Structure 1
C-alpha cells in the first residue's frame, strides 16, 4: 500500500456515523479502512446529504439497526491518502469525487475506477459528485432538443440543475414547485415560466394555456411522491416523454395507464445502475462545473459537521427557509 508522507501521523481509527435507531445517528470510533487491490482510501472533505437518505434514516419496515459505519453517505469528495496494490492512475494527494457509499465518516474506500480526479479549477470547491453526475445522466435520458417545452416538477437541487441544462439545450422550461423561493431559484437557472404547485387541476389548465393546449414534449418528475407523478403524467403531451427522476422508495405507486396509453407517451426511469454510465455522468459533471457551464454553488445552502448529521437529514426532510441542499463537511474543508 502506498501512502503519503503524513501517513504515520494519522490515527488508525476514525470517526464515523452509525444509524443506531430511527432518526438517531451515533458517532463512533472505528478502525480506519485499508484499501485492497484496485482500491483507494479517501480522507473526506465532505459529503452531500441526499433526499434518499430521509426514509432510511426515519426507519422503514425492513430496517435493521445498527447500520454500517458511514453508511448512507454516497456523495463524498476528498483527498486520496492511500492506494492499494495495482493502482497506478490515482495517487496520494489527488483531490477526487467518488462513487462510494460509506462517506458519513472521516475516510471512505472507493474502487480506483469509481472516482474522478478534480481539476485545479475546482480547488477548494465542494463537489458532491454523485448527484451532479445523476443530473447529467437524467438530462441525457430525457432527450431534450431545441424548441421542446419541458416541464420540471419539483425544483430542488436536481430540478435546478436540470433547468439549467434544459435551457442551455434550447428548450423552454416550465418549472413547477411548492415554494416561492424554489420558483425564484428556477428562474435564476433559466426557467421561462413558473407555476406554484398548489392545485392539481389549476396547474394542468395553466400548462395548457402556456402550450396552446398541446402540453409538454418532456416532463421531468423530480420529487419522488405520488401526486407529483400524477401531475407529471397529466401534463405530458401526445407522443411526449415522462422522465421519472424522483426517487420513489416509500411504497408502491399507481399510474393512470389509460392516460399513458391514450397519449402514447414514453416513460423513462432515469436512475442509472450501470457503473460505466454512472462514471460517464460524473466525468461530464466535473467538466460542466469546471468550465462554468453549470454553477451549483448557490444550491449548497446548509453545512453541518458530521456530529449534526441528524439535523442535516431533518432539514433535508423539512426544508426550512432558504434550504436547497445540505453538505456534511469535515474540519476546515470547503
Structure 2
C-alpha cells in the first residue's frame, strides 16, 4: 500500500495521545494528529520509551527551556512496531518490531528515518528495549580502549554506569564504582565491580583510590554524572598517561577543570558523546547482541515501569532517584 493510499485509509481523524510539557514540572497529555512519514521515514506505533537522565534538567524548567514543548518532545528512547512506511522505504515491513532513534517519543506514535531503526529479534519479544542509551553505552566502552587488569573508576552508577561496569568488567578491568547511593553501589557489585566507594568526601575517595592502585591511580576513569564535582573527582583519579572518558551529559553550563593537574598527569580526555546516527545504530546493534547473549539483563536494569498517563511520576522519579531506582520506562501497551 503506497503512502497516498495509507493517508486516505487513515483519513483526517486519526489521532494519538502525546505529552506536552507546559512548564517546570508540569505536563499534560493531549490528543493530537498522528504524524505522517516522509519518503525515507517510517512511522512507529510505540510500545514504550525510556526516561533519560538528560530529561531531568529540562523538566526542572531552566531559563533556556521553551514551553510548551512539541508533542512528544524529550522522549528519545523509544521502541515499537513499524506502522506506516515512507514511499522510498524498502528494507522494512509494516509490523516489524524495532528500536529507534527518534525524538518525540513521549507519544503513542513517532517518526524515524529508516536508517535510524534496528530490528529487534524474536528473542526480545515482550521486553522493553530503550535502544538509544544501550547503544550509547556500547559506543562509550569502545572509546575507553580498556585493557585487561587496568583499574577503571566509574563515577556515577545509574543505568549507564551500571551497564558500563558490566562491560568494563567483561573487558578484564578491575572496576572501582563510585556513587552517592548505597543502592547503586549494590547494583555495581552485582555487575562486577571489585570495589565500591560512596561519593561523599572528595579527599577520602582520592585517598582510597590511591591506596587501591598502589599510588598509580586509574588507567581509565569514566565520568557518568554530568556535573562539576564528579568531573573534578574524575581528573584527580586519572593516572599519568591514562584516559578520562566523559560520558556524563553536561547540559547546565560551562565547566572548570584543574588544567595544571591535567597537564601534569598528561592523560587523554575523551568526550564519548556521538552525534552521527550511523554510530548510534552500530552501538544499538551491539547492544541487541549483548542482551540476547545474556550479558546485560534489562529486567534488572529497568527498575520501574509507568503507564503513559503517569509520565510526570516517571520524570519525578528520574530526578529524585529514590532507593531501589535505576531506570524508568513508560509503556504505551
TM range (shorter): over 0.9
User: Hey, what's the Cα distance between the residues in 2 that align with 1:310 and 1:34?
Assistant: 27
User: Hey, what's the Cα distance between the residues in 2 that align with 1:270 and 1:35?
Assistant: 31
Report deviation, 1:9. 11
Partner SS, residue 191 of structure 1: coil
User: Hey, what's the Cα distance between the residues in 2 that align with 1:285 and 1:317?
Assistant: 26
Q: What pairs up with 1:1-334 in 2 under 5 angstroms? A: 1=2, 12-331=14-333
Describe the superposition over 1:20-74 as per-residue Cα deviations: whole angstroms up to 9, x where unpaired: 1111111111000111101101100000000100111111212221110000000
User: Hey, what's the Cα distance between the residues in 2 that align with 1:275 and 1:81?
Assistant: 22
Partner SS, residue 113 of structure 1: helix
TM-score between the two structures when normalised by the length of structure 1: 0.96
Partner SS, residue 95 of structure 2: coil
Report deviation, 1:310. 1.4
User: Hey, what's the Cα distance between the residues in 1 that align with 2:46 and 2:226?
Assistant: 29
Q: Could you tell me whether the CA contact under 8 Å between 1:21 and 1:66 is conserved in 2?
A: yes
User: Hey, what's the Cα distance between the residues in 1 that align with 2:310 and 2:259?
Assistant: 43
Report deviation, 1:127. 0.1
Partner SS, residue 161 of structure 1: helix
Describe the superposition over 1:150-169 as per-residue Cα deviations: whole angstroms up to 9, x where unpaired: 00001110000000000001
Report deviation, 1:306. 1.7
Q: Could you tell me whether the CA contact under 8 Å between 1:161 and 1:296 is conserved in 2?
A: no
Q: Could you tell me whether the CA contact under 8 Å between 2:13 and 2:33 is conserved in 1?
A: no
User: Hey, what's the Cα distance between the residues in 2 that align with 1:268 and 1:10?
Assistant: 49
CA gap 1:90/1:22 in 2 versus in 1, 3 angstroms: same
Q: Could you tell me whether the CA contact under 8 Å between 2:143 and 2:272 is conserved in 1?
A: yes
TM-score between the two structures when normalised by the length of structure 2: 0.96
User: Hey, what's the Cα distance between the residues in 2 that align with 1:321 and 1:160?
Assistant: 15
Q: Could you tell me whether the CA contact under 8 Å between 1:167 and 1:191 is conserved in 2?
A: yes
User: Hey, what's the Cα distance between the residues in 1 that align with 2:96 and 2:11?
Assistant: 19
Moved more, 301-310 or 253-262: 301-310
User: Hey, what's the Cα distance between the residues in 2 that align with 1:54 and 1:273?
Assistant: 20
- Report the aligned-residue RMSD: 1.5
User: Hey, what's the Cα distance between the residues in 2 that align with 1:117 and 1:132?
Assistant: 15
Report deviation, 1:276. 1.4
Q: Could you tell me whether the CA contact under 8 Å between 2:128 and 2:298 is conserved in 1?
A: no
Describe the superposition over 1:4-28 as per-residue Cα deviations: whole angstroms up to 9, x where unpaired: 9xx7699610000011111111111
User: Hey, what's the Cα distance between the residues in 1 that align with 2:150 and 2:121?
Assistant: 34
User: Hey, what's the Cα distance between the residues in 2 that align with 1:57 and 1:78?
Assistant: 24
User: Hey, what's the Cα distance between the residues in 2 that align with 1:84 and 1:275?
Assistant: 19
Report deviation, 1:293. 2.1
| Structure 1 gaps, min length 5 | none
Superposed structure 1 runs of 4+ greater than 6 Å apart: none
Partner SS, residue 247 of structure 1: coil
User: Hey, what's the Cα distance between the residues in 2 that align with 1:31 and 1:121?
Assistant: 33
